[in-house]
Chains A and B, each alone.
Chain A
Amino acid sequence: MKKIVQNLKSVFSPRTVAIVGASATANKIGNVLLRNFIDGKFPGKVYPVNPKYQEIAGLKCYPSVSSIPGKVDCVIVATPAETVPDIVDDCAKKNAGGVIILSGGFEEVKRYDLAERIKKTAETSGMPVIGPNCLGVFNPYTKVDSIFLPMYKLERPRAGGIAFITQSGAVGSTVLDLAAYYGLGVSKFISYGNSTVLDEADYLEYLMNDKETDIIILYIEGAKDGRKLLEAMKKVNKVKPIIALKAGRGAGGQAAARSHTGNIAGSYLAYQAAFKQAKVTEAEGITEVFDFVKIFHQPKPKGNRIAVITNGGGVGVLTADCIESEGLALAEFSEETKKIIAKILPSYGNVANPLDLVADAGVEAYGKAIDAMMADPGIDALLIIILTQTPPIDERIIHVMTKASDERTKPIATISIGGTYTEAYRKILESKGVPSYNSPNAAVKAMGKLIIYSRYCEQLKKAK
Chain B
Amino acid sequence: MTLVDDFALLEKHGFKLLPYRLAKTGDEAAKAAKAIGYPVAMKIVSPDIEHKTDVGGVKVNIKSEDVLRLAFRDITQSANGKRIEGVLIQKMARKGVELIIGGKKDPQFGHMIVLGLGGIYVEIFRDISARICPLTAADVEEMVSELKVHPLLEGARGKKPINKKSLETLVLRACAFMLEEDILEMDLNPVVFDEVGCDIVDARFSR
Contact = CB atoms under 8 A, between A and B. Distances in A.
Interface of A: 222-223, 225-227, 230, 251, 257-265, 267, 269-274, 276-277
B109 A274 contact: yes
Contact of A251 (B122, B126, B132, B186): B126
Of A261, A263, A272, chain B has the most CB atoms within 10 Å of the CB of A261
> Taking chain B's interface residues, is the majority helix, strand, or loop, or is none over half, making it mixed?
strand
B186 A227 contact: no
B116 interface: yes
A460 to B, nearest CB: 13
B22 to A, nearest CB: 22
B123 A270 contact: no
Interface in B105-143: 106-110, 112, 114, 116, 122-123, 126, 128, 130-132, 139, 142
B102 interface: yes
The size class of the interface chain B forms with chain A is 20 to 34
A232 to B, nearest CB: 13
Given A223-B108, A260-B123, A267-B108, A273 B206 contact: no
Contacts of B131: 273, 276-277
Contacts of B122: 260, 263-264
B108 to A, nearest CB: 3
Nearest to A260: B122
B164 interface: no
Given A226-B106, A260-B187, A270 B142 contact: no
A277 B204 CA distance: 27
Of A223, A258, A262, A271, chain B has the most CB atoms within 10 Å of the CB of A262
25 contacts: A226-B106, A226-B110, A227-B110, A257-B185, A258-B206, A259-B102, A259-B186, A259-B187, A259-B206, A260-B100, A260-B122, A260-B123, A261-B104, A264-B123, A264-B126, A264-B128, A265-B102, A265-B106, A265-B128, A267-B106, A267-B107, A270-B109, A270-B112, A270-B130, A273-B130
B170 to A, nearest CB: 15
Contacts of B103: 261
B116 A264 contact: yes
> Taking chain A's interface residues, is the majority helix, strand, or loop, or is none over half, making it mixed?
helix
Interface of B: 50, 100, 102-104, 106-110, 112, 114, 116, 122-123, 126, 128, 130-132, 139, 142, 185-187, 189, 204-206
Nearest to B128: A264
B155 to A, nearest CB: 20
Contact of A269 (B107, B128, B187): B128
B162 to A, nearest CB: 20
Given A270-B132, A273-B131, A262 B139 contact: no
Contact of A265 (B108, B112, B139): B112
A265 B187 contact: no
Contacts of A269: 112, 114, 128, 130
B192 to A, nearest CB: 16
Given A264-B126, A273-B131, A226 B108 contact: yes
A255 to B, nearest CB: 13
B109 A273 contact: yes
Contacts of A261: 100, 102-104, 114, 185-187
B5 to A, nearest CB: 15
Contacts of A265: 102, 104, 106, 112, 114, 128, 130
Nearest to B189: A260
Given A260-B187, A260-B189, 6 more contacts: A260-B100, A261-B103, A264-B114, A267-B107, A269-B112, A277-B139
Q: List the 6 closest pairs (A to B, CB-CB), nearest first.
A: A261-B102, A226-B108, A226-B109, A273-B130, A270-B106, A260-B122
B186 to A, nearest CB: 6
B172 to A, nearest CB: 15
